[in-house]
Structure 1
């Protein structure tokens, strides 16, 4: 694999939370061509191949995904098309070009059992369609065998799109009391945290210059990438309102998952260990509360 000059980085899903932040964080690492769904629809394999072959990128960064977890239970084909089949096509095209691929996956590939953070070596056992489709995407990339990094993250939020943070702020302004699940644990992860840590890792590859392909050979594989620490959805909600500056904050009542049934089963344990990420690349994820405080300061 030969590093082209100038480098072209194809970024998908720029309309999403992580894609929006990556479009900014990747600046300086190459010529970023950022495409939203109107210009690159991952449900269309022919369009994927056509766009990649036209742009001839050195790197493809794919945060785009079908993320409607509950809807995926009844819209299985669409979820698998975007989350499973499209990553495989991107991997094939990247390998054909001698390019590399960065792809984003999820904590939902695990069944949520246990009481400690998952490592990359733990057995996968997704419990819902979304998790199964994301795992299939990981496997499709690995089967192609090209240069790749797969970053699994969790509980992503931000000031754009649909996410828990924005939902809490909206409902908190409308209601005096909110009921939030307390028996699911994870690390709320700001979309900018994902983008910045990704850029720090990629900068190491770019810095290798002529040894670009050697770097990918040494570091390819799956890494967990989320904020440090953990809390429950209830704890996350309380922190949001604590930092919101709202004059009249709602009461946040803790409830069990069984009291709030959803079409898709959610894992009770969504905690991911970043140890391999830190060991390999020297990057340190911020504590989830510190990142949330920075995010809230931008409101």
Structure 2
């Protein structure tokens, strides 16, 4: 039975992965139980458990706050990740790490290939790219999956905000295009990977297939949950951090290497809506 160590266990993605993993011995640590910026704690837990896989779901994800907390963002998203990769290599564990579409600048009009040049437009994206590079340089057994616009039927995310806000009228930006991605689908893919590992290590993209604006996504949520809210498109929404205007990613390499069909945005949303209602 494979042993899996998961960090950031109380987060949206880790919760979904914990629930999806089958036939595994899972050791899940919240950020309070295992602070990934503490090398000693990381080393102790990995040395004790000797996991086959380390799934790192711990991250600094406050995109706007990162603009004024650059040091903290890099400490969690890059320096801690580098140490984790080094310890994973020491104990021959495979590291699975999640990055972001925000490593790209958004100045394209078709989905980003994995090898497209990176150029983050905000501190958060820069910190995640630094984490990617650190893992690659350590050269441990690793998979980096760039995911995007993550949501789930629980936790703090766009889907839940639309579903639960008391506001009857919402103004949603329609000038950013990407691929809303269900944490449930990422988690199912993680289960598939662990049981069918091709050992073809490197960087990949995993998103629900298709692309839409935040406005279109809000309208889809509104419709599927029968919320009857008024959704208005707006061209700009003032935020501290700049966002890429286009950040859909090409997942063909992932589908080919892992023999896995990534679900569409619509199918991903249907599953989340069904779980939310249940």
Query: How many Å separate the matches in 2 of 1:274 and 1:182?
Result: 24
Give the helix-richer structure, 1 or 2. 1
Q: Deviations over 1:177-218 (max 9, x none)?
A: 11000011111111011111122122112xxxxxxxxx42xx
SS at match of 2:33: coil
1:121-270 equivalence runs, <5 A? 121-171=115-165, 174-205=166-197, 215-216=198-199, 219-246=200-227, 249-257=228-236, 260-270=237-247
Q: Secondary structure at the match of 2:64?
A: helix
CA root-mean-square deviation: 1.1
Match of 1:27 in 2: 22
* TM-score of the aligned structures, taking structure 1 as reference length: 0.90
1:12 is matched with 7
- TM-superposed CA distance for 1:297, in Å, is 1.4
Give 1:245 deviation, angstroms: 2.4
SS at match of 2:194: helix
1:290 to 2:260 alignment: no
CA apart distance, 1:271: 0.1
Q: Gaps spanning 5+ residues in structure 2: where? A: none
Distance across 2 between alignment mates of 1:139 and 1:263:
25
Question: Secondary structure in 1 aligned to 2:172?
Answer: strand
Q: Please tell me whether the aligned partners of residues 43 and 78 of structure 1 are also in contact (alpha carbons under 8 angstroms).
A: no
Shift of 1:45: 2.3
Give the structure 2 partner of residue 114 of structure 1: 108
Q: Per-residue displacement from partner, 1:69-106 (whole Å, max 9, x unpaired)? A: 11111111111111111111111011101111111100
Number of matched pairs: 276
2:256 alignment partner, SS class: helix
Gap runs ≥5 in structure 1: 1-5, 206-214
Shift of residue 27, structure 1, vs aligned partner: 2.4
Bigger radius of gyration, 1 or 2?
Answer: 1
Q: 1:90 aligns with which of 77, 84, 88?
A: 84
Residues 49 and 89 in structure 1, CA contact (< 8 A), matched pair in contact too: no
